[in-house]
């Protein structure tokens, strides 16, 4: 398992993580997979429903869902740059081992930013079901790919921790 960058098992001691940090990494990996899986499930339902005829004029709903997707991508970037906050920085400066609270902040940032993307993806999955629009299919696929690119690894936790510790 040591060669697997997605493993949060005992082989990750070489990165210098405590068991609490590895536990946080496991939780983050599970949440990332669950959020992406939920959207993919709705995407599958939407693709099946596309085979039918359009049920009325739904272009406005599709445009709204696409706009929410664009807004979510922008918000996702802003939110990621805001973690940890000034209060959180004070907390880890006071900690005996600053890397411990940083693992928690890493997970909190991941959950928050993925939730924004997931919400927009679900909205577009509903737009697929209502309008059968390929614009929404493309939006869902792009959002899921973005979510999967954020999949937490030991390397991403280490990079986050190192950057935050440099700001002390």
**pLDDT by residue for the chain (168 residues), tens digit each?**
455 565 555 555 566 666 666 667 777 777 787 778 677 767 766 665 565 554 555 676 677 778 878 888 888 777 777 666 666 666 667 777 777 777 878 887 888 788 888 888 888 888 887 777 888 899 999 999 999 998 988 898 889 888 877 776
Cis peptide preceding 45, ω within 30 of 0: no
In a domain, 13, yes or no: no
In a domain, 8, yes or no: no
What is the C-alpha to C-alpha distance for residues 163 and 168, in angstroms, rounded to an integer? Answer: 9
Quick one: pLDDT at residue 54?
Answer: 47
In a domain, 12, yes or no: no
In a domain, 83, yes or no: yes
* Count: domains in the chain: 1
Residue 99 is part of which domain span? 19-166
In a domain, 7, yes or no: no
What is the C-alpha to C-alpha distance for residues 123 and 84, in angstroms, rounded to an integer? Answer: 28
In a domain, 5, yes or no: no
């Amino acid at each position: 398992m040591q060669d697997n960058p997605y493993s949060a098992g005992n082989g990750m001691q070489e990165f210098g993580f405590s068991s609490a940090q590895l536990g946080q990494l496991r939780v983050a990996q599970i949440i990332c997979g669950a959020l992406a899986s939920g959207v993919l499930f709705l995407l599958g339902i939407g693709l099946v429903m596309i085979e039918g005829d359009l049920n009325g004029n739904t272009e406005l709903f599709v445009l709204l869902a696409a706009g929410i997707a664009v807004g979510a991508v922008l918000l996702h970037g802003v939110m990621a740059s805001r973690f940890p906050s000034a209060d959180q920085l004070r907390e880890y400066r006071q900690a005996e081992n600053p890397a411990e609270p940083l693992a928690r902040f890493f997970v909190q940032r991941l959950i928050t930013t993925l939730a924004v993307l997931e919400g927009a993806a679900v909205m577009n999955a509903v737009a697929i079901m209502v309008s059968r629009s390929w614009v929404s299919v493309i939006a869902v696929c792009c959002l899921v790919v973005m979510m999967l690119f954020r999949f937490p690894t030991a390397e991403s936790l280490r990079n986050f921790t190192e950057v935050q510790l440099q700001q002390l």
